[in-house]
Amino acid sequence: MEFFLTIVPSTPAQGLCIIILICYGASYTPGYTGLAICEMVLSIIFFIVYTLGLNKQLTFVHWGWSDFIRAVIGALLFLITSLIVLIGHRDGPGIAAGVFGLLAGILFAYDAYITLPTLRKSHTAAPTESPEGV
């Protein structure tokens, strides 16, 4: 179940990043394409890592926290960038990219929200009785 919860939000995020990339490329200010490219590449990397099971083989990286941090940073950057674009630009592709960026920010926030419970694993309490049974 952990695999399914981790992979599902990343796949639509990759599609939204491609749409945002196209919209920013067609707008008057193509300088915002870097964010869409970086998040798309990072989403693809994490998708491949979890699909191939490399997260179990490469144990020197805590993949859960890395994925959580990627999702939080992506959500914050997409929300901030989209608000800047929606407030400051008036061309059609820029507004479309801003709207899709808001959707991507919400999707990345949801990805972070469902990734967090997998990081907080409950542990059992240690027995408090003495080993001698006194």
> Angle at the Cα of 48 (from 42 to 53), degrees rounded to 5?
130
**pTM score:** 0.75
The amino acid at residue 32 is Y
Angle subtended at Cα 79 by Cα 73 and Cα 85, rounded to the nearest 5 degrees: 130
Query: Tell me: the pLDDT tens digits for 39-68?
Result: 888 888 888 888 888 888 888 888 888 888
Minimum mean pLDDT range among 81-85, 86-90, 98-102, 118-122: 118-122
